[in-house]
Chain A
């Protein structure tokens, strides 16, 4: 049962129940909607970009604890970071949850986001954790249309 506690740590449960930045940024200049058709998770990421700087970031959506907490922690991690930082975090986060590279030294600058390390033991839940991040990338790049995990 240890993996379960690794997956659902206090921090994850807290962010899933009280998601931070859970609103629409009214004067956002980038946004994208992400959807996981397998389980119905849905997330919209809003960004206020000043050139390469993420001045503000928020999200709205519905889904499981993992997807909600992942979106919430993502927004807290990226405020006042650059889009370059965001892409760097994205790569490391995806490597971490898919188990491709979860060495602590490699993940150091992810900070609190390392709480999702346990996801790699639950292959069917990887998409829940990564959906907000894929949606973020789409929002930065402003791809038209819905982003899907499939």
Chain B
């Protein structure tokens, strides 16, 4: 049997977008007879062949359940699954693999923290602070918790550029604040939040911080220890991995005092009808058979990113973003939404007086995939006085030619709908 294709060689190379494009088979597709230009990466990224092959290999050769079988397949599957956990630990700079919990995605990660840490340590009259930039997934789980325990949700405002107002944050937090939930990068506007500064302010008041890193992990080099984040979570599918797998990082001292999330197999060390002893970290939070192939695929996706060199990726994506912003400024009818100086991966805009869905429909007929709508951030749209925006979001396989195709098609859109 051939060696599992789970470990990609880390050979730093020149970042060649054309070569990278070839690693993603789906990008060869034609949409309505036009070459696909995929600019909806903040929704989900495409998958490199290495990830697809790893999943394929796992189901063809090693499929079995983990942490229990004495047989060879189970041993190999367990090794691959736990190997993926170690890759993730290294990728985000966590201290120990026991701090890495596999979940379905960022959404489940936030719900996990709300229903374990939140239910135990947040009570009636306490306050939870979030920001105006949040995705619904970092709003609704806290609203549910607030209803359950009688806590109150407070919101950090933004300015018209889409940047957080740090001075207001300082006024909002107080002795009743028991937790802060904050995004690292805004999915709708691309704003990079000054996380280190915010976490420092929160920690001065002993407030633990939960970071939604779903939009940051694909674009920024993240080190959870440097940030001093208490919890950091992200989805695999936004960082070139499969859907249905995501990660919660939590500081060990927090994870240890938290009750389990779900009950079942794998999260126990012994069960009697009188009492159950829970398993050690991280297994205490992983009830039931996990998405083994997904975890392995995510590990390979992170390997793939490492072969491209994360810093080069960030530089290249910034170059693309600047190029697109420059092109936008040349188009009189195009209004950029969100002018944060620090931004990653995303440009939100509106074209003339046209509705985003109409623009999205016309672009689709030109083979260009963008997101049109409220981006699961309805409170943010309301704050900006908008119903919807068009959003283009970049990944490492996008090129300047993609940007050119976009702007050509936007001109056509004006002709069709103008």
Contacts A3-B365, A62-B387, A65-B417 given; indicate if A8 touches B373 (C-beta within 8 A): no
| B361 adjacent to A13 (CB under 8 Å) | no
| A40 adjacent to B374 (CB under 8 Å) | yes
| A7 adjacent to B361 (CB under 8 Å) | yes
The prevalent SS among residues of A at the interface is helix
Contact of B358 among A3, A8, A38, A40 (CB under 8 A): A8
A64 adjacent to chain B (CB < 8 Å):
yes
Shortest distance between the CB of B19 and any CB in chain A (Å): 32
Residues of A contacting B378 in the complex (Cβ-Cβ under 8 angstroms): 40
Residues of A contacting B387 in the complex (Cβ-Cβ under 8 angstroms): 40, 62-63
Shortest distance between the CB of A22 and any CB in chain B (Å): 15
A1 adjacent to chain B (CB < 8 Å):
yes
Residues of A contacting B193 in the complex (Cβ-Cβ under 8 angstroms): none
Residues of A contacting B381 in the complex (Cβ-Cβ under 8 angstroms): 40
A38 (CB) vs chain B CBs: closest residue: B373
| A4 adjacent to B358 (CB under 8 Å) | no
Contact of B355 among A1, A5, A7, A64 (CB under 8 A): A64
Residues of B contacting A87 in the complex (Cβ-Cβ under 8 angstroms): none
| B388 adjacent to A39 (CB under 8 Å) | yes
Contacts A5-B416, A8-B417, A65-B417 given; indicate if A122 touches B361 (C-beta within 8 A): yes
Within 8 A of A (CB), among B353-393: 353-358, 361-362, 365, 372-374, 378, 381, 387-388
Shortest distance between the CB of B368 and any CB in chain A (Å): 13
Contact digits for B335-364, partner A, Cβ 8 Å, 1 yes 0 no: 000000000000000000111111001100
Shortest distance between the CB of B9 and any CB in chain A (Å): 42
Residues of A contacting B373 in the complex (Cβ-Cβ under 8 angstroms): 38-40
| B365 adjacent to A125 (CB under 8 Å) | no
Residues of B contacting A62 in the complex (Cβ-Cβ under 8 angstroms): 387
A66 adjacent to chain B (CB < 8 Å):
yes
* Residue with the greatest number of chain A CB neighbours at <10 A, chosen from B357, B362, B417: B357
Shortest distance between the CB of A71 and any CB in chain B (Å): 13
Contacts A39-B373, A40-B388 given; indicate if A65 touches B358 (C-beta within 8 A): yes
Residues of A contacting B416 in the complex (Cβ-Cβ under 8 angstroms): 1, 4-5, 8
Within 8 A of B (CB), among A37-94: 38-40, 62-66
Contact digits for A112-141, partner B, Cβ 8 Å, 1 yes 0 no: 000000000010110010000000000000
Residues of A contacting B358 in the complex (Cβ-Cβ under 8 angstroms): 8, 64-66
**A39 vs B355: C-alpha distance when bound (angstroms):** 11
The prevalent SS among residues of B at the interface is helix
Within 8 A of B (CB), among A1-21: 1, 3-5, 7-8, 13, 17
Residues of B contacting A39 in the complex (Cβ-Cβ under 8 angstroms): 357, 372-374, 388
**A62 vs B374: C-alpha distance when bound (angstroms):** 13
**A80 vs B357: C-alpha distance when bound (angstroms):** 33
**A100 vs B85: C-alpha distance when bound (angstroms):** 51
| B365 adjacent to A4 (CB under 8 Å) | yes
Shortest distance between the CB of B366 and any CB in chain A (Å): 8
Shortest distance between the CB of A145 and any CB in chain B (Å): 20
A128 (CB) vs chain B CBs: closest residue: B357
**A125 vs B361: C-alpha distance when bound (angstroms):** 9
Shortest distance between the CB of B350 and any CB in chain A (Å): 12
**A8 vs B362: C-alpha distance when bound (angstroms):** 10
A125 (CB) vs chain B CBs: closest residue: B361
* Residue with the greatest number of chain B CB neighbours at <10 A, chosen from A8, A40, A62: A40
**A63 vs B354: C-alpha distance when bound (angstroms):** 10
A68 (CB) vs chain B CBs: closest residue: B355
Contacts A39-B373, A65-B355 given; indicate if A13 touches B417 (C-beta within 8 A): yes
Shortest distance between the CB of A111 and any CB in chain B (Å): 24
Shortest distance between the CB of A139 and any CB in chain B (Å): 22
Residues of B contacting A128 in the complex (Cβ-Cβ under 8 angstroms): 357
A and B contact pairs by CB, cutoff 8 A, 27 listed? A1-B365, A1-B416, A3-B365, A4-B362, A4-B365, A8-B358, A8-B362, A8-B416, A8-B417, A13-B417, A38-B373, A39-B388, A40-B374, A40-B381, A40-B387, A40-B388, A63-B357, A64-B356, A64-B357, A65-B354, A65-B355, A65-B358, A65-B417, A66-B358, A124-B361, A125-B357, A125-B361
Chain B interfacial positions (CB closer than 8 Å to A): 353-358, 361-362, 365, 372-374, 378, 381, 387-388, 416-417
Give me 19 other A-B pairs in contact (C-beta within 8 A), A40-B373, A40-B387 excluded: A1-B365, A4-B365, A8-B358, A8-B416, A13-B417, A17-B353, A38-B373, A39-B357, A39-B373, A39-B374, A40-B381, A40-B388, A63-B357, A64-B357, A66-B357, A66-B358, A122-B361, A125-B357, A128-B357
The 4 closest A-B pairs by CB, nearest first: A64-B355, A64-B357, A65-B358, A64-B358
